[in-house]
């Protein structure tokens, strides 16, 4: 089977270089072209790698010897590059987040569908052993019917991180903060494991940094069937934390900084609640199993390999455009709720959210916290 010929847009940035390293050694594809805004580093990089440098996006997209592109630019550029690439007949693997708003993602998905090309989103955490194990355990009903789930992703960023690049921390150029940029990897994994809620009630704040966008967000999630979830995402907490908890009738599944533990109840929860007569405030007995899984490097390579093999085999990639846009839908719902004080249903009203983003770009700041009336008002 012929290798997929790949080109990288945004090759000289940190993420672009990560993709270059990831492609090296894959049998499903080979790197043939690069494009970046900074011309001198681009040509030097191309010479070192022995591939073609394309000074403009148009030059690259007109090249018939390129089958697919990887977009490794800041996400405000993702939609326009994706639409142009699809129009040129190229398959597209786009870095997270897919775009800035659900409306933009809708356009990207529809364009790929019309043109019958592959559109994938690079959420490499789904390829980690821990994530795949958790999904496998849930699919095998190891915890039973899920009634509650919690997620925390705290990824500290200094003020210098935001000051170093002028697009960071702004509504005009980033379209959000901790949710859409740092937290979206764990948000994607969380919704992949427990599903999408039907509504959210969110809080968004700028707690510590001198930026326009949120550096803290939390939400209560309500699911069909009555299950509840909570979500916290920030760039201020130190030390950082990555944690997912999933509670079901038969037990619980926890991931704490990539350490996975399964707790199995001796008696199903509802049965114990209804029949226990000890009046000792003691939960049902349980046994626990912690899985010793190495935190592997190279999950970008696994994502790229799956995308390229999907093209070769005529199937969908593991994370399609439709699938990759779900986390962005959740981010938009939390942001809209946090800015208005309303509980927001999913799918998000596109017109209302686009209007909010327009207002935030104009004001350059989050609105004052919504007033929540007390029961006595």
The full DSSP string for 262-277 is: EEEESS-HHHHHHH--
**Residue 245 and residue 138 in one domain:** yes
**Residue 89 and residue 154 in one domain:** no
**Residue 313 and residue 209 in one domain:** no
**Residue 143 and residue 267 in one domain:** yes
The answer to whether residue 159 is domain-embedded is: yes
> Which residue's entry shows tokens 């981010």?
331
Going across the sheet that includes 68-71, the strands are: 52-53, 29-35, 4-9, 68-71, 91-95, 119-122
**Residue 130 and residue 118 in one domain:** no
> Residue 283 has what pLDDT?
87
- Spatial distance between the Cα atoms of 23 and 69, rounded to a whole number of angstroms: 12
**Residue 174 and residue 286 in one domain:** yes
Instruction: Please say whether the beta carbons of 154 and 240 come within 8 A.
Output: yes
Q: What is the pLDDT of residues 253-270, one digit of tens each?
A: 999 999 999 999 999 999
Q: What is the pLDDT of residues 85-112, one digit of tens each?
A: 999 999 999 999 999 999 999 999 999 9
Helix/strand/coil for 232: strand
* Owning domain of residue 117: 4-123+299-320
Q: Which residues contact 39 (CB under 8 A, 6 or more apart)?
A: 55
CATH of the domain at 287: 3.30.360.10
Q: What is the pLDDT of residues 191-248, one digit of tens each?
A: 999 999 999 999 999 999 999 999 999 999 999 999 999 999 999 999 999 999 999 9
Percentage of the chain modeled with pLDDT above 70: 98
- Spatial distance between the Cα atoms of 196 and 200, rounded to a whole number of angstroms: 10
**Residue 251 and residue 140 in one domain:** yes
Q: What is the pLDDT of residues 24-36, one digit of tens each?
A: 989 999 999 999 9
CATH of the domain at 66: 3.40.50.720
First to last CA, the chain: 69
The answer to whether residue 348 is domain-embedded is: no
The count of domains in the chain is: 2
Predicted model pTM = 0.94
**Residue 139 and residue 85 in one domain:** no
**Residue 100 and residue 148 in one domain:** no
Q: Is residue 296 over pLDDT 80?
A: no
**Residue 48 and residue 78 in one domain:** yes
- Spatial distance between the Cα atoms of 338 and 334, rounded to a whole number of angstroms: 6
Instruction: Please say whether the beta carbons of 325 and 102 come within 8 A.
Output: yes
The answer to whether residue 339 is domain-embedded is: no
């Amino acid at each position: 089977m012929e290798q997929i010929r790949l080109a990288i847009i945004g090759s000289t940035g940190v993420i672009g270089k990560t993709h270059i390293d990831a492609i090296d050694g894959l049998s499903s594809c080979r790197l043939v072209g690069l494009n970046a805004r900074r011309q001198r580093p681009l040509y030097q990089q191309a010479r070192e790698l022995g591939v073609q440098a394309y000074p403009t996006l148009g030059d690259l997209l007109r090249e018939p010897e390129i089958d697919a592109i990887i977009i490794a630019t800041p996400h405000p550029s993702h939609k326009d590059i994706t639409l142009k690439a699809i129009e040129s007949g190229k398959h597209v693997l786009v870095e997270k987040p897919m775009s800035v708003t659900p409306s933009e993602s809708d356009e990207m998905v529809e364009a790929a569908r019309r043109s019958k090309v592959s559109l994938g989103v690079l959420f490499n955490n789904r390829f980690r052993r821990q994530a795949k194990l958790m999904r496998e355990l849930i699919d095998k009903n190891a915890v039973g019917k899920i009634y509650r789930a919690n997620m925390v992703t705290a990824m500290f960023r200094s003020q210098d991180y935001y000051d170093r690049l002028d697009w960071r921390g702004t509504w005009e150029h980033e379209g959000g903060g901790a949710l859409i940029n740092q937290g979206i990897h764990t948000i994607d994994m969380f919704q992949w494991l427990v599903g999408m809620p039907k509504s959210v009630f969110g809080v968004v704040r700028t707690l510590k940094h001198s930026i326009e966008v949120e550096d803290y967000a939390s939400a209560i999630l309500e699911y069909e069937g009555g299950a509840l979830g909570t979500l916290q995402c920030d760039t201020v907490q130190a030390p950082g934390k990555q944690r997912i908890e999933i509670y079901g009738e038969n037990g619980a599944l926890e991931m704490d900084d990539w350490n996975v533990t399964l707790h199995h109840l001796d008696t199903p929860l509802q049965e114990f609640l209804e029949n226990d007569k000890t009046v000792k405030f003691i939960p049902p007995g349980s046994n626990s199993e912690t899985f010793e899984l190495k935190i592997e490097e190279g999950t970008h390579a696994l994502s790229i390999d799956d995308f390229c093999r999907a093209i070769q085999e005529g199937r969908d990639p593991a994370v399609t455009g439709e699938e990759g846009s779900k986390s962005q839908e959740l981010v938009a719902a939390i942001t809209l709720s946090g800015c208005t004080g309303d509980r927001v249903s999913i799918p998000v009203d596109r017109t209302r959210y686009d209007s909010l983003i327009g207002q935030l770009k104009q004001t350059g700041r989050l609105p004052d916290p919504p007033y929540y009336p007390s029961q006595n008002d």
